[in-house]
Amino acid sequence: MHYVTAGESHGPCLTAIVSGVPAGLSVSETQINADLKRRQSGYGRGGRQDIESDVVSVVSGVRFGVTLGSPVTLQVANRDWANWSERMAAFGEAPEDLQREVTPRPGHADLVGALKNNTDDCRNVLERASARETAARVAAAGIAREFLAAVGVEVFSYVTRIGTAAFVEDDPMVAAPDYKPLDIEMSEVRCPDPEASEHMCRMIDVARVQGESLGGEFRVVATGLVPGLGDFDSGRNRLSSRLGAALFSIPAIKGVEIGRGFATAGMQGSAVHDPITQSKRRGFSRASNNAGGLEGGMTTGMPLIVTAAMKPIPTLQSPLGTVNIDTMEPVSASTERSDVCAVPAAAVVAESEVAFVLADAYLRKFGSDNMADILSSLESYRKRLRTQSR
């Protein structure tokens, strides 16, 4: 299962096409729209969210709420297009009073993209490089999430840090799978701890007054996974490789770790690796989950726990210095309408990326034609594992 997206931040709409979708999968517009709303929410979001109210339109691949086995096309309209239709028109002459974007922002794709594509207008780059594109990803991931739910897998996320305000957990590898999604969503910053949530909100308030932006960290957790998803035969087939690539594809993500990640570099092997256990009830399992649910590029059957770090958004209301690419004179960078902090939203996007990787891993292992055959193959696999564990 894969997706491709198209569309600009201020174009008519964002489009996603999901291929490799099995037939017979029930799909809910309501659930997709709920995820789109979660992506738009979060303390610290900017004025664009006051304009947009993202709603999905499914235009192919689904009939009466069930997938046909053909590519699924989803669209999310941009309400702000009404204010940009002349400046972003696909055809015709550019307006005489068109203001080109010539003051690239440090930390954004503006300058490097303009150099790469030989354009004197950074808007030709920033429209697509904008994180607005992730709305299409979240819509597309609604298909992957429905599939994972059908095979018993839940994916959720929570924020652990915004700026220096952190949610300190005694042992996140133990605690993470037990957080309740409702508690997470009740927080304005999608953090399950009320005290930490309050500190994060206060830090965002200060940054807003200062004209600053903030990054942070979040975790994505997947439960209900069977062991053996992914592969060990080559680097690119390892599930860890696919997860890393998917998460780094999200704008502003600068670090990813699986399980205890970087902390394991300073630990002895006996304290890192998870002892193997076996029982008639659970079969093969692990006494701990320092590996975060992956060994040798494959799932262990333990919860998958991935942490990602997001840098501060590059658009600042108190902008840094840059160079005008017309005059080559030093100036202040442009100030697009933007967020102070989008870490809670980025965590929802990360859920979507993880969901796609896991859905694709299930389809690679258990077939991809239709849900009846996939579920039958999955049950046969589970039965074999139960038999081997006795």
pLDDT for res 337: 66
Residues 6+ apart with CB under 8 A from 41: 49, 344, 345
Residues of the chain with pLDDT under 70: 46-52, 336-337, 389-390
DSSP conformation class of 262: G
Question: What is the CATH number for 129?
Answer: 3.60.150.10
Q: CA distances (Å), 230 to each of 192, 256, 291, 351, in order?
A: 30, 18, 15, 18
Number of domains forming the structure of the chain? 1
- State CA 155 to chain mean position distance: 11
**The whole model's pTM is what?**
0.94
DSSP conformation class of 122: T
> Whole domain around residue 282: which residue ranges?
2-388
pLDDT for res 47: 59
pLDDT for res 45: 72
pLDDT for res 318: 86
CA distance 27 to 32: 9
9, 133 in Cβ contact below 8 A?
A: yes
pLDDT for res 282: 80
Residue by residue, DSSP assigns 326-357 as: TT--EEEPP--S--SB-HHHHHHHHHHHHHHH
